Structure 1
């Protein structure tokens, strides 16, 4: 599970805004941003400030965080959450295919093994995403 710093780093990196510009708008140094990305317990005040600069509602990731943000339904936050769910689902699917491949090999099910191997090869995008 990702900690607060990793979550805010992902959102910042996906926003496309330069870290230098972001640091300038927040009136902190780039090093401070990098340190916050490593911090497991970044303060909610910092996260709220960051959200205001990015126009992003971090309450999607931190429901316990009290927010007076005017962005209750930020579509970018919903999209980020859906993207994470999709990636998790793809990772589980990829794991399941590999598990089935191993089991079919162990059970001498050559036809099934071949079909699963072809499915994995045809789904090469899984390796890129996962």
Structure 2
């Protein structure tokens, strides 16, 4: 049975994103990434962090992640962006677009 580090390694390599870029987004070195690939008991938080960067949901391969909602609910948030600010700004943009549509619809009638 393959362990968490090997699962993450497979996904990272299949993504086509260079290891250097993944390491830079995580604020770590390439050597650190290689060490992670060797960790059988890699923390779920690190797995989720890789998932955010790679836009990948590890919950199929690592069932314990299904209880953690971060990667599933926030997968569109760019790495390093505050979640609260992201969703607040998205809400305001959608609200503005909705109001514009209402104005346009009322003028058409």
| TM-score after normalising by structure 2 | 0.62
Q: TM-score, normalised by structure 1?
A: 0.52
Whichever of the two has the greater Rg, that structure is 1
Separation (CA, whole Å) in 1 of partners of 2:52 and 2:5: 17
Superimposed CA distance per residue, residues 38-91 of structure 1 (whole angstroms, 9 cap, x where no aligned partner): 01110000000000010000111111123322369xxxxxxxxxxxxxxxxxxx
Q: 1:27 Cα deviation (Å)?
A: 0.8
Identify which of structures 1 and 2 has the higher relative contact order when contacts are C-alpha pairs closer than 8 Å and 6+ apart: 2
Q: Is the 8 A contact 1:23 1:33 kept in 2?
A: yes
Aligned residues: 72
1:57·1:71 contact (CA, 8 Å) conserved in 2?
A: no
The root-mean-square deviation of aligned C-alpha atoms, in Å, is 1.6
1:60 aligns to what SS in structure 2? Answer: coil
Write the mapping of 1:1-130 to structure 2, written as runs, cut at 5 A.
1-65=1-65, 66-68=67-69, 69-70=71-72
Equivalent residues of 1:20, 1:30 under 8 A apart: yes
